[in-house]
């Protein structure tokens, strides 16, 4: 303890001297460039030694980075504002909602926000730009605020041509994760909820445009329906405030005749005040459930394979990290960040058990990201408090199983598989033949049992006795989930952080001081940057999981919503 106090004292003494010199000698810019691009993940991903050596450039922009930079600029008090460089935005709607919230809070604190659009503008990037005081664009930029749409690819016909089919057993028609493999179009139920989610997205975009640009509801709709625009047309439609090249920005932002200097963050931060450190006794442990939930260890697969690929939240790794937070005496509460469409039902249940067990000792607060559906909701249900964004996709309480059928493929290839069996149902998942009625009833009983357990866990964790009307695979936005009692609050990181601090009895302190990323034990996950181990794990894991696909029960949400024009 004495060592920690002395270290804080020396660090703050150095910061005091540094800040005094920055005040005397450092001339901060009038505005700071902040780039917002890519997927905007919530937190930075720790990189291993080799990855840091290979990727020497700046890391991806995260919401954590945006919060910290805006906070640092506000703390200094000498910078007038920020200029946003918005490009190649691939973020989900909940992440965009969080970024907008941070920018609006910066404006409320007296900072000015200017959006400068020098790349083609789509609906997502314009929705984000609407958080600015002023929206400017370069000449020849296309403003394509064309609205939102959802697109799902259905593979039944393609699989039929290959001689492959599938029997999907689901708890209800709303549990539609298997539909792309068995249909050529949406079912009525799937279409109904996809349209409802899409309507919510559209209304949110309309609200942002209406409030930012001073338009009526009808004018905002007309502006979207008239897109895409050239820059001058966008000014006439009141979607832009001006058109100019980047070198014209200082003159545009001049105040009292003085043209401000606009600096990149890397240069600007050298003249900004450094925040002082406070010693905090208790911390909030950060644990992440990111990607498809699977058994085994967490990993990142380069190719997004349906049900298997992309980022993986391994139950072994997540459980080990939760136990690390439990054993750390300085951790008074756990912030569980869930960014997952669900996945393997058994893996979800193993994580659920740890969340519930640890929450009885240390409060667990869930922060939902873009999606926390099905298995992602399953693991959230026993938490002490659940916070979603308005645009989060959640719910999807239900399970499915897929039984592949490849008899026609075998026939076309001239393959005649012959099985010798002992046991009435030894060939239950044999893809070389169609399932019998008895086998389908067995699969229905299996998912029915797991579904009942799923509902029971949610009912107990959320104190919701009647779930039939909101379960059955139905998907909800975060705003709808709040009304239904599936979450406790709608907000962002700051709300979840505040609740974790309150419930854990943790004193004052900024997220940088209080939040502790709980390391994943090496026995629970290969460290990033160890290529041989990672490749071996990925290849071996994918092979095992592909072979286990038939008969695995999935707590998996159905869709992603994207914009195209």
**Number of alpha carbons in the 13 Å side-chain half-sphere of residue 494:** 10
* Catalytic residue, candidates 374, 380, 391, 396: 374
Q: How far apart are CA 152 and CA 180, in angstroms?
A: 8
Determine the Cα angle at 140 with ends 135 and 146, to 5°: 65
3-state secondary structure 379-408: CCCCCCEEEECCCCEEECCCCEEEEEECHH
Residue 3 buriedness (CB in 10 A; 0-12 / 13-18 / 19+): exposed
175 is catalytic: yes
Tell me if 210 sits within 8 A of 217, measured CB to CB: yes
Phi, psi of 132 (to 5 degrees): -90, 160
Among 390, 360, 372, which Cα is nearest to 489's?
A: 390
Angle between helices 93-108 and 188-213 (to 10 degrees): 20
550: three-class secondary structure by DSSP? coil
Q: Is 374 in the active site?
A: yes
Catalytic residue among 125, 175, 317, 455: 175
**If residue 462 lies in a helix (H) or strand (E), which one and from where to where?**
helix 437-462
Enumerate residues 6+ apart whose C-beta is below 8 A from 236. none
Pairwise CA distance, residues 364 & 50, whole Å:
34
Q: Rounded to 5, what percent of the chain is helix, strand, coil?
A: 40, 20, 40
In SS3 terms, 149-175 reads as ECCCCCCHHHHHHHCCEEEEEECCCCC
Strand partners, 385: 365
Which residues have a Cβ under 8 Å from the Cβ of 339 and sit 6 or more positions away?
A: 41, 42, 288, 289, 290, 291, 368, 369, 370, 371, 372, 376
Dump the DSSP string for 285-353. Answer: EEEEEESEEESS--EEESS--TTT-EEEEEHHHHHHHHHHHHH-TTEEEEEEEEEE-EEEHHHHHHHHH
Q: Catalytic site residues?
A: 175, 374
């Amino acid at each position: 303890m004495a060592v920690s106090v002395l270290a804080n004292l020396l660090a703050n003494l150095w910061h005091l001297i540094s800040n005094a010199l920055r005040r005397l000698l450092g001339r901060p810019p009038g505005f700071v460039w902040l780039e917002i691009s890519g997927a905007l993940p919530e937190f930075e991903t720790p990189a291993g030694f080799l990855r840091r050596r290979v990727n020497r450039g700046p890391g991806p922009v995260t919401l954590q980075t945006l919060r910290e930079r805006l906070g640092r600029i506000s703390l200094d008090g000498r910078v007038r504002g920020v200029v946003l460089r918005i490009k190649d935005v691939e973020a989900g709607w909940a992440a965009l909602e969080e970024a907008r919230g941070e920018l609006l809070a910066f404006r409320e604190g007296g900072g000015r926000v200017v959006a400068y659009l020098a790349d083609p503008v789509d609906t997502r990037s314009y929705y984000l730009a609407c958080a600015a005081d002023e929206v400017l664009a370069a000449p020849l930029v296309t403003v394509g605020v064309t609205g939102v749409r959802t697109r799902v690819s259905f593979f039944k016909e393609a699989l039929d041509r290959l001689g492959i089919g599938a029997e999907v057993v689901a708890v209800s028609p709303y549990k539609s994760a298997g539909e792309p493999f068995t249909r050529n179009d949406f079912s009525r139920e799937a279409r109904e909820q996809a349209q409802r989610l899409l309507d919510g997205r559209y209304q949110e975009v309309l609200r942002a445009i209406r409030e930012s640009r001073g338009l009526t509801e009808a004018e905002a709709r007309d502006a979207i329906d008239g897109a895409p625009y050239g820059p001058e047309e966008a000014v006439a439609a009141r979607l832009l405030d001006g058109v100019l090249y980047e070198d014209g920005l200082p003159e545009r932002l001049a105040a009292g005749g003085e043209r401000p200097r606009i600096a990149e963050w890397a240069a600007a931060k050298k003249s900004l005040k450094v925040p002082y450190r406070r010693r905090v006794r208790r911390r909030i442990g950060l644990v992440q459930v990111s990607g498809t939930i699977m058994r085994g260890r967490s990993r990142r697969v380069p190719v997004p394979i349906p049900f298997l690929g992309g980022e993986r939240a391994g139950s072994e790794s997540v459980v080990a990290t939760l136990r690390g937070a439990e054993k750390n005496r300085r951790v008074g509460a756990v912030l569980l960040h869930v960014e997952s469409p669900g996945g393997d039902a058994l893996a979800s249940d193993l994580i659920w058990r740890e969340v519930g067990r640890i929450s009885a000792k240390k409060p667990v607060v869930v922060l939902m990201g873009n999606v926390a559906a099905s298995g992602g909701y399953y693991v959230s249900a026993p938490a002490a408090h659940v916070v979603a964004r308005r645009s989060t996709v959640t719910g999807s309480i239900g399970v499915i199983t897929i039984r592949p059928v490849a008899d026609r493929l075998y026939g076309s290839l001239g393959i005649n598989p012959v099985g010798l069996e002992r046991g009435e149902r030894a060939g239950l998942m044999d893809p070389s033949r169609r399932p019998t009625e008895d086998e389908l009833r067995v699969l229905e009983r299996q998912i029915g049992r797991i579904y009942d357990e799923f509902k029971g866990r949610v009912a107990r964790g959320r104190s919701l006795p009647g779930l039939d009307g909101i379960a059955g695979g139905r998907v909800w936005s975060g705003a709808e989930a709040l009304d239904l009692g599936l979450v406790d609050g709608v907000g962002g990181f700051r709300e979840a952080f505040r609740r974790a601090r309150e419930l854990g009895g943790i004193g004052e302190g900024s997220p940088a001081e209080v939040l502790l990323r709980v390391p994943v034990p090496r026995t629970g996950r290969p460290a990033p940057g160890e290529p041989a181990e990672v490749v071996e794990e990925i290849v071996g894991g994918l092979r095992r999981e592909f072979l286990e696909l038939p008969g695995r029960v999935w707590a998996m949400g159905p869709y992603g919503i994207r914009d195209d024009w």
